[in-house]
Chains A and B, each alone.
Chain A
Amino acid sequence: KAGVTQTPRYLIKTRGQQVTLSCSPISGHRSVSWYQQTPGQGLQFLFEYFSETQRNKGNFPGRFSGRQFSNSRSEMNVSTLELGDSALYLCASSPTSGGTNTGELFFGEGSRLTVL
């Protein structure tokens, strides 16, 4: 069974640009969560999608948005990029909202975004 796939793995953007990151969950998983990982802040919850609906949202500005498609693939978008958006963006999937019955999340390897 293929794991969670994130693309692209690495990208470089400049301030003011926008970026779209993609996440393909494990087959059969309907929930996709996004996290931002930075050295100082650790893992910050961005949002969770389940069956194409946003179920939970973290404390990020409106420049951060996401969506989920009918095949459970998800994208997140960051507009008007700032230097502080440089981070590793991790996607995690699970069969149901909020993780498996025991809450386990299955993570991809992440997309590393550098904003210059």
Chain B
Amino acid sequence: GEDVEQSLFLSVREGDSSVINCTYTDSSSTYLYWYKQEPGAGLQLLTYIFSNMDMKQDQRLTVLLNKKDKHLSLRIADTQTGDSAIYFCAERQSSASKIIFGSGTRLSIRP
């Protein structure tokens, strides 16, 4: 199958770290992505990781990739109210060069 799975909701306190998890199915995926969708807007690429990497850090964002378990995670340090959004995990399938998205995780921030 070509499912990318994520939990639907995550609630964290402002200032804490958020960890959003994702599992994918295509072991030959070349790139994996995290996109962010703010209310009323389209998706915007947050970060991506190449499949031969284990980790990528970009300011407050840390992406971890476990190829053996086909597991991807996004950690947002010091979560702020502006981080409230839906976060989509996606994989680029090498076989068809199409990009498949998960169902999205809605991150809400509580004071």
Q: Which residues of chain B from 39 to 85 have any CB-CB distance to chain A below 8 Å in the complex?
A: 40-45, 48, 50
CB-contact partner of B102 in A42, A102, A103, under 8 A: A42
Most buried by A among B35, B92, B99: B99
Question: Which A residues touch B35, using CB under 8 A?
Answer: 107
Could you jot down 12 A-B contacts, CB within 8 Å? A33-B99, A40-B103, A42-B102, A43-B88, A43-B101, A45-B98, A56-B96, A92-B43, A104-B48, A105-B99, A109-B40, A110-B42
Number of residues of chain A lying within 8 A (CB) of chain B: 24
Q: Which residues of chain A from 29 to 70 have any CB-CB distance to chain B below 8 Å in the complex?
A: 33, 35, 40-43, 45, 48, 55-56
Minimum CB–CB distance from B29 to chain A (whole Å) comes to 10
Contact with B along A86-114 (1 / 0, CB 8 A): 00001010000111001111011110000
Closest chain B residue to A44, Cβ basis: B101
A33 to B102, CA, bound (A): 16
Question: Which B residues touch A109, using CB under 8 A?
Answer: 40-42
A108 to B102, CA, bound (A): 18
The answer to whether residues A104 and B88 also contact, given A33-B99, A56-B97 and a CB cut-off of 8 A, is: no
